[in-house]
Structure 1
Amino acid sequence: MERIVMKFGGAALASTEHIQDVAKKVIAEKESGFDIVVVTTAMRGTSKELAKMACNLSDNASKRELDALLSTSSQLSSALVAIALQEEGYDAVSLTGWQAGIQTDVVYGNARIDVIEAIRIEEYLTQGKIVVVAGEQGIGNSRNITTLGKGGAETTALAIAAALEAERVDIYTNVDGVYTADPSQIAGAQKVKEISYDEMLELSNLGSQILHPRAVEIAKKFQIPVIIRSSEKDTEGTLLKEEVEMEKNLIVRGVAYESDVIRLTVGYDAYSNASLADMFTILAENRINVDIIVQAIIDGLKPTVSFTILKEEFADALRVLEDSKVSLGFSFADFEIGLAKVSIIGSGMASNPGVAARMFDRLRREDIPVKMVSTSEIKVSVVVPQDEMIRAATALHDEFNLEQALYI
């Protein structure tokens, strides 16, 4: 029997009434002849309440205990979904991450899945049970509970699908698909019927909150079809797959943006003191994600390297740089806040020169300064003042005629 994995986010698990609706969606797929694995995230607000309780008790709670505590939030929702299914007359069982065989590294709060030993899930599916797995968690080599951090539930869903060779993964969220831009901010944004793994990966890395990059990477690696759909509306979603139909020959298929970007600039007395490899190795070892990188070597001026990071990693980045200042050999570090990143994405860009020039020209005509630029085969990103972010995104959405996409 073919298998599908269904992942439900916090909005779909906000109350017992919502959980009953989840059960109905799961039952409909079960009645269609599929073996079902459900992956749940935390019920809305529960993780924050648990974290608040921990803070009331201690300003320095250990990461191990915080993971043990926060893992219970998705366990709560998985058990409630199983109970709702049982009440409807279906055989269901809930599993924690470790019971489901999800093995991770030991980075508390942001663990990565090493392997899923899905023997127990397989046994329950063979018995005809609906298996409900608590997402966002696993167990490390030291047999301690770990949590997977942002995007943990959808990453869990895709990893389970890969282990089970599932037919597809359905991601139920508070939006009804992937749009050419955020429809709550950009007038005329259109839902896309299909999107490629590469395009979705760029969107996810560039600020889209729909699907975490880790989940997209697994989907691409194992060629797992993913449907992103609404948990509230019974509408057609967006299909994520390898090859997509190019509607209306659009070169650019989406605009994404991300606020609270910080530019860090590190300067050296001489080029011989600079080692980009050493600097970015140290930042990577401390799990600090660096995005756009620009090096400047100009005769008569001290060499510099600038890079962008997100606001939440700023304090850690400064600490790491300060602790490593002697070994890295730089003479000063400076930063600029109040920035945002705006990007255009489209697989058609690889074979159509001039897209970047068109983007820069439109921003120039809008009098929006561009502070940094990064490109790949299918995207161009610019750093602009944060108070110009939405205006820049709106202008680019208009420039590339995305309001006329009408995919669905």
Structure 2
Amino acid sequence: MTKLVIKLDEQTFASSDRIEQITNKIIQEKESGYDVVIVAPFINLIDEKVKQYAYTLSEQPTKRELDSIRSTNTQIASSLLAIAMNARGYKAVSLTGCQAGIETFSTKRNVLIDRIENECLKNYLSKDIIPIIAGAQGKDAVNNITLLGEGGPETTAVAVAVAIDAERVDIYTNATGVFTADPKIVKTAKQIKQLSYDELLELSLLGSKIIHPRAVELAKKYNMSLVVCSSTENIPGTVIKGEVDMERNLIVRGVAYETDIIRLTVGYESYEQASLANLFTTLADNQINVDIIVQAVIDGVNPTVSFSIEKEVFAEAVKVLESSKRSLGFSFADFEVGLAKVSIVGSGMVSNPGVAARMFDRLRSENIPVKMVSTSEIKVSVVVPQDDMVRAANALHDEFNLVEEIV
């Protein structure tokens, strides 16, 4: 029987009525002939209160025990859904990440999935039992509970789908699919029927909180189809796959934006002192991600390098630069706040030159200044004043005719 993995959203567990509603959707999939595996999201039920207790007992509780506390939230979610499914006469079982056979390993920055022992899941499916897995968790080599962190639930869903050779992964959200822009700020935004992995990956990286990039990367690696769809409405969602079906798609497929961008500029007395490798290695060693980078080297002018960072890491970035000024050899550091990043994305850009020129011309006609620019084969990003972000997004959505029907 064809297998389907469904990743649920947090809103599913907002009330018992919502749990009943999602139970009906899962039953519909089951009755249509699918072997279904469910991945529950992280929900905030008891986490904060219990953590407060933990910190009254110790000023520095171990990460192992804090992870164990946090893992119970998702386990509760999977158990509640299993109870609802069993009450409707459908056999279901809740599973921790460990019970589902999810094995992990740790790097300096992340906990990653190493492999999934799929015999457990296949055994339940062979007995017509619906496994409901607590997402974003697993076990390490010494059987400690580990948490996958941001993007963990959808990454779990993709990994499970690969492990059991599922047809696709349905990502349930509070929207009906992926839109050409955020409908909250671009009222004419339309739902997209299909996107490539690369297009969705760019949109996710550029500020569209649709699916976490790590899940998209894993789906692309194993060519696992994704469908972003509604958890409440029976409306066809957006299909994510390797290539979209037809060439007549619009050149630009979507507009994304990101607020609270800060531009940092570092200046040097001479080019010989301006080591980009040392600068960005130092920032990376302190877990500071940079985005758009612009270097200015002009005869007779002191060289500078500017780069954009998120507001959350600004204070730490300034601290690192100040403490490393001597070793990095720069003469001054300056910053500009109140900025935003607006991006256009589309695989059609590869074979259609002049897209960036159209973008810059439209922004110029709207009197929106461009502070920084970054490009790739399928995206162009600009940093603009944050007060102009909404206007820029709407203007670009109009410029590239995204109000048209999208294939």
Q: Normalised by the shorter chain, which TM-score bucket?
A: over 0.9
Amino acid at match of 2:240: L
The 1:119/1:54 distance shift into structure 2, 3 A limit, reads same
Question: 1:129 — aligned with what?
Answer: 129
Deviation at 1:305, TM superposition (A): 1.8
Q: Hey, what does 2:236 align to over in structure 1?
A: 236
The separation in 2 between residues aligned to 1:242 and 1:109, in whole angstroms, is: 29
Cα distance, 1:227 vs structure 2: 0.7
Q: What's the offset of the Cα at 1:160?
A: 1.2
* 1:2-401 aligned within 5 A: 2-43=2-43, 62-106=62-106, 110-141=110-141, 143-246=143-246, 248-401=248-401
Q: Distance in 2 between matches of 1:249 and 1:66?
A: 48
Change in CA separation of 1:333 and 1:212 when aligned onto 2, cut-off 3 Å = same
Alpha-carbon spacing, 1:113–1:317, altered in 2? closer, same or farther (3 Å): farther
SS of 1:207 mapped into structure 2: coil
Deviation at 1:250, TM superposition (A): 1.3
Tell me, what secondary structure is at the counterpart of 2:203?
Answer: helix
Question: How big is the shift at 1:163?
Answer: 1.8
How far is the alpha carbon of 1:337 from its aligned partner? 1.7
How far does the alpha carbon of each residue in 1:118-163 deviate from its partner, in whole angstroms, 9 at most, with x for none? Answer: 3322332233221111112223345433322222111111111122
For 1:217, give the aligned amino acid. E
Could you state the TM-score of these two structures normalised by the residue count of structure 1? 0.92
| TM-score, L = length of structure 2 | 0.92
Counterpart of 2:10, as a letter, is G
Range with bigger deviation, 286-295 or 210-219: 286-295
Change in 2 beyond 3 A, CA 1:395/1:44: farther
Q: Does the 8 Å CA contact 2:249/2:406 hold for their aligned counterparts?
A: no
Contact 2:44 2:73 in 1 (8 A): no
> 2:101 corresponds to which letter in structure 1?
G
Q: Is the 8 A contact 1:341 1:382 kept in 2?
A: yes
Distance, in Å, in 1 between the alignment partners of 2:382 and 2:345 is: 12
Identity of aligned residues (%): 59
8 Å CA contact 2:183, 2:189 repeated in 1: yes
Asked if 1 retains the 8 angstrom alpha-carbon contact of 2:98 and 2:138, the reply is yes
- Aligned partner letter, 1:153: P
Residues 268 and 332, structure 1, Cα contact 8 Å, conserved in 2: yes
Cα RMSD, aligned residues only: 2.4
Where in structure 1 are there 5+ consecutive unaligned residues? none
Q: What letter matches 2:125 in structure 1?
A: L
Aligned residues: 407
Q: Secondary structure at the match of 1:334?
A: strand
Shift of 1:101: 2.5
> 1:98/1:329 Cα in 2 relative to 1: closer, same or farther (>3 Å)?
farther
Secondary structure of the residue aligned to 1:190 is: coil
Q: What amino acid maps onto 1:189 in structure 2?
A: A
